[in-house]
Homo-oligomer: A and B are copies of this chain.
Amino acid sequence: MDIELRMRVEELHARYAHALDSDELERWPDFFTAKGRYRVTTAENEARGLPLPVLYAEGEAMLRDRIASLRHANIYEPQRYRHMVSAVLLEQQSASRVKSIANFLVIRIMENGEVVLFASGRYLDRIALPELRYEERVVICDSRRFDTLLAIPL
């Protein structure tokens, strides 16, 4: 077992979580490689082999666009997130890539103080080494109920 690799991957997931939870969305594309892919789907779609993602972005420009449009869009209500990540499993594929599976849970906090369990699911990641960026982050949400505010990255 490569203990240091494991620590570094857990740290990557932690930095990603804190960037989103601190509303530092402009840092979000930096967690991906230049051609990195971000995909949100549901467990139901995955089980049925439906390739249609709920959300898809590939490459730095598209990832940056996504954040820019978020910033300019009418967000109906200010909100914040709190990410919890757990049960990380690694599978090293080569010197330049490791796969990671992890469970996540996202709490959403609305402006009025209301707190709800917003999303839960699995992260399926392909991580480039040694730079430790996501080549691909697939977010598989447990529930097919999606809030219109899903726009903010999970």
Q: Which residues of A contact B (CB under 8 A)?
A: 1, 3-4, 6-8, 11, 13-15, 17-18, 21, 43, 80, 82-89, 101, 103, 105, 107, 109, 113-117, 120-122, 142-145
Contact = CB atoms under 8 A, between A and B. Distances in A.
Given A14-B87, A87-B85, A142 B1 contact: no
Contact of A3 (B7, B17, B105): B7
Contacts of A3: 3-4, 7
Contacts of A13: 87
B107 A14 contact: no
Contacts of A117: 107, 115-117
B87 A114 contact: no
Contacts of A84: 84, 86-87, 103, 105
Copies of this chain in its oligomeric complex: 3
The 5 closest A-B pairs by CB, nearest first: A113-B145, A14-B87, A109-B142, A84-B86, A17-B87
A14 B13 CA distance: 15
A86 B14 CA distance: 8
A80 to B, nearest CB: 6
A65 to B, nearest CB: 27
